[in-house]
Chain A
Amino acid sequence: MDISSNLVRPMDKLLFPFVSIVGQEDMKRALLLNIVDPGIGGALIKGEKGTAKSTTVRSLSQILPSRTAVPGCPFGCDPSRTDRLCPYCAERFASEGPLPSEEVPMRVVELPLSATEDRVSGTLDIEHVLKTGEKRFEPGVLAQANGNLLYVDEVNLLDDHIVDPLLDSAAMGVNYVEREGVSFSHPSRFVLVGTMNPEEGELRPQLLDRFGLSVDVRGDRDTAKRMEVVRRRLAFDSDPEGYTASLREETESMRRRISDARAALSKVSIPDPVLEAVVNITTHFGVDGHRADITMLKAARANAALEGRPAVIADDIRAVATPVLSHRMRRRPFEEEAFDPEELETCLKGI
């Protein structure tokens, strides 16, 4: 019997279309906002098992916009940001002037749980450095992630010594590799997306803080919706190419919506009352630090851009308040999260 004949080769296997995922609007929105403005700081998706967390994140690759990169640069440097170049590109820029540029698709780079730290940060060949005075660096996942989306499934199960370099890069946008007095650094700016099932244990607080947005997903209990989920899945599984092709139009328009939003982002205005409301909200809910303010503002602006609005309005804040605040609210241990939409409304009255 020929076994391989009816097996799909996984390399060319298609991913379930993003636009066909039923419901899970909070998760989708959190992800889209981050693509529109990578400065939001990523998204943590917590939820019970089997709620299309991984499927959704992986399928983002279908709708990610393109970006500019220096051709052949292993770190995917953005030629327009000369302040964020890797040592190679920086040297080239210093001697040759403006760098060449090409459009490349933004990718979903996955960090497998079994990754070793040298592959995460990359390795520095000390011997080569000492012998030739040249730095030779073997780029790792953090190099691939630059300018892309870095996805960590089961982020709460990740080893601490892998989390550390991840945190450093997420915080500074630069990956520093130090070994025996020789150091190397390269840009590593990425949208960090983690998924986890809280039943398996919680996330280290430092890592939790790092995520701009946090959403809780649940499976839909509605029979009709669940049937639709199964129907779409069966349709996709029985003919992945055909199914994907039938949604090409929708996928394309989603992609356009994202690139339009990205282009419009800097033009979206933030009226003063909105700014005041944001500060009011974070104060009211007892979230300390400016990071929450900034994240909320950025997320609200990205939301306005995504909705095609010229200015941020109260609805934008409503849409992003929970994912911004939920994991930041200073919770006394074991207290239920107390996010009261009514309190939010009072804060929004001024707009």
Chain B
Amino acid sequence: MPQGNLSFPFSAVFGMDDSKRAIMCAAVCPRIRTVLIRGGPGSAKTVLSRAAGDLTGRRVVNVPLNVTEEMLFGGMDAEATIREGRAVMQRGLLSEADGNILYVDDANLMDQRMLASLLDCVATGRVVVEREGVSGEYACDTLMIATMNPQDTDVSPHLLDRFDLCAYSDFPQDDVRGREEILRRNSAFADDPEGFAAMYADEESELRAGIDRAKRILPLVTISDDLLGVAVELAARVSADGFRGDIAMAETASALAALNGRDEVLRKDVEEAAMICLAHRRNYSQPPPPPEPPQQQEAQDQEGEPDREPPEQPQDDRQDDRDDSSEPPEPPEGEPPDLPQDLRDMLDEMMFEIGEQFRVIDYLQDGRRMIRTTSSRKGRRAMAESSDSTGRYARSRIPEGRVSDVAFDATIRAAAPYQKGRRHGGLAVSIEKQDIRRKVRERRSGCTILFLVDASGSLGVRRRMAAVKGAVLSMLRDSYVKRDRIGMMAFRRDSAELVLPPTRSVEYSYRKLEELPTGGKTPLGQALVTVGEFMTSYSRSHPGESCYIVLITDGRANVPLREGADANEESRELAADLRIPQVRWIVVDASTGYIRFDNAERLAEELEGTYFRLEDLNADRLADSVRSVIG
């Protein structure tokens, strides 16, 4: 890792073409203000962001993850307030970022509400402060570079859309030569930072000159109606919501043209722009880009600059790894009537290209894709306030009654304006009762309930599903008040599928439930494995959350994981081994009929869970029973 004053040169960062391109575009176009770099640990996200500062001659202002609203946006300047006897505002970190680069590492771990405010400030270029007796406004014209590790919880789609550009920086694991090169450059830099920087000095100054030139060209760049139409249609084809994607496409394609020294947007600019403008806006709940019509890829060499290679796309060897479930369905119907045939062809070809590239992204994101699939998934915006003195000090509040957890900073600020008029009795600061503020602490919110539902056709499916749906709905209904999240995973045939990722949103989840398919065999073992993986990762990214899995099944497995094994025996073994942190089990026995099997009951024992019978299939009673366990 580079240390000291000298940072790793931008041009020496190997690969990461999309990330570099995104940053270059933002450096050229002042309307591109937010760039998100998604990549696993060690994918040079941080290095690149710091290098961007050097490249553009701007200071990089770092936002620490534990930043308080006070520090970020601003608040009262206690010292000045005491001195002057009136409330004086102190600007926050965002003021330092004005004219500079704002760097937010691990943006997905930031409190989502704060991130929403932050993105709004950066987008509008101004910060409005209404806090603790001060009221003010200041400029914040900045380029925000945020990074996130997609292996952690994702940013909600709503916030993701707020990022003008998003680059996926994962490095293909099997590119051995690339990895060697990275290693070589890193050690060369570590050994002799100055010498290394000197090696790249020419490239760096070329890049700088390119950016300067592009800034001058940008106001002159034009985009033809045809290409604008294609850009807009591309956004529509990936089902991007809203207009941010379209606008970003136009701005980015123009910036790319300017970077190439052209005053006219070409097709390849639009293509490149799509990768960084649309990948994160792509809506998975609707059909992904169609990969069908392959005229062929001579698309690439449309007047390209020799020094700008297309990004590495290790697509071909990856194709086979994808399982069937991610096979893109039919292309969306309804061609726009206002595009002439040649443009439509161009669009289809481009869509093909982009579809391929997106699939690489999906592959890199791997299992994460599933979590991204619905738009109902929320971030962790609603942190639960914790009543004891644990959790993060998020803000202060005027107390009711006795206070033990005093927010000293806020208390002093509250007292500050009145210091001149108060009797001090030898004390430096005179604090009176009405100044006291208490800390509001937050912890990730309370409770997630995941229904793991046997959707196989083995018995009374319809009645059981009715009860399950009813129970899920009944629990969702009051989840708003209780701040619970409800999710659902169903298993049938040979796999388990996350039908409803944990959510608080009622409307969206209802549709998911309606569509739940049923029938087929009972892959209980597979279900336990899948839910184990999901919940382990989930509970890790939601520390402090208590999670419950409500398993609704008759417990009669008939699809073993290992060929030839006894499915029931196997699922009990799996259950005994399955330990997920913060997770408790509730097993609801859905078996009916004269002959009762004890499969579900034994499963509950192995899982050390609470056992219920779904006797009369009453939705409200099921919900109540689950609630009684959760308490």
Contacts and interface: CB of A to CB of B under 8 A. Distances in A.
B243 A219 contact: yes
Interface string B29-55: 011000000000000000000000000
B507 A51 contact: no
Given A114-B69, A200-B158, A223-B339, A6 B243 contact: no
Given A127-B422, A154-B116, A334-B510, A199 B158 contact: yes
Contacts of A138: 87, 133
Contact of B228 (A113, A128, A201, A231): A231
B203 to A, nearest CB: 17
B241 interface: yes
B116 A230 contact: no
Contact of B30 (A6, A111, A154, A221): A6
Contacts of B473: 333-334
B414 to A, nearest CB: 8
Given A199-B378, A200-B156, A333-B477, A7 B229 contact: no
B141 A8 contact: yes
A237 B33 CA distance: 13
Contacts of B507: 198, 202, 334
A157 interface: yes
Nearest to A158: B113
B116 A126 contact: no
Nearest to B131: A116
A248 to B, nearest CB: 23
Nearest to A119: B130
Interface stretch (B118-126, B492-500, B544-552, B565-573): B118-126
Interface stretch (A9-17, A76-84, A91-99): A9-17
B432 to A, nearest CB: 6
Interface in B426-473: 432-434, 473
Interface string B62-99: 00000001000100000000000001000000000001
B505 A10 contact: no
Given A157-B113, A227-B232, A117 B397 contact: yes
A239 to B, nearest CB: 9
B212 A1 contact: yes
Contacts of A244: none
B99 A48 contact: no
Given A8-B141, A199-B156, A50 B339 contact: no
Contacts of A199: 156-158, 375-376, 378, 505, 508
Contacts of B422: 127
B418 A127 contact: yes
Nearest to B140: A10
A229 B303 CA distance: 29
Nearest to B58: A3
A230 B212 contact: no
A125 B30 contact: no
Given A13-B125, A334-B510, A230 B228 contact: yes
Contacts of A48: 241-242
Interface in A195-223: 197-202, 204, 219, 221-223
A226 B230 CA distance: 11
Contact of A117 (B137, B398, B480): B398
Contacts of A126: 434
A115 interface: yes
Interface stretch (B245-253, B517-525, B585-593): B245-253
Contacts of A125: 418
Interface residues of A, number: 64
B125 A200 contact: no
A127 B416 CA distance: 13
B195 interface: no
B390 interface: no
A24 to B, nearest CB: 10
B161 interface: yes
Contacts of A113: 113, 116-117, 120
Interface string B166-185: 00000000000000000000
Interface string B195-237: 0000000000000100010010001000101001101110110
Nearest to A231: B228
B547 to A, nearest CB: 19
B243 A226 contact: yes
B506 interface: yes
A233 interface: yes
B13 interface: no
Contacts of A180: 433-434
A7 B375 CA distance: 35
A4 interface: yes
A107 to B, nearest CB: 13
A208 B510 CA distance: 20
B162 interface: yes
Interface of B: 30-31, 56-58, 69, 73, 87, 99-100, 113-114, 116-117, 120, 124-126, 128-135, 137, 139-141, 156-158, 161-162, 208, 212, 215, 219, 223, 225, 228-229, 231-233, 235-236, 240-247, 249-251, 254, 336, 338-339, 375-376, 378-379, 381-382, 395-398, 414, 418, 421-422, 432-434, 473, 477, 480, 504-508, 510
Among all A-B residue pairs, the 5 with the closest Cβ atoms: A50-B242, A10-B125, A50-B244, A115-B130, A119-B130
Interface of A: 1, 3-4, 6-11, 13, 48-52, 54, 110-120, 123, 125-128, 138, 140-141, 153-154, 157, 161, 179-180, 197-202, 204, 219, 221-224, 226-227, 229-231, 233-234, 237-238, 333-334
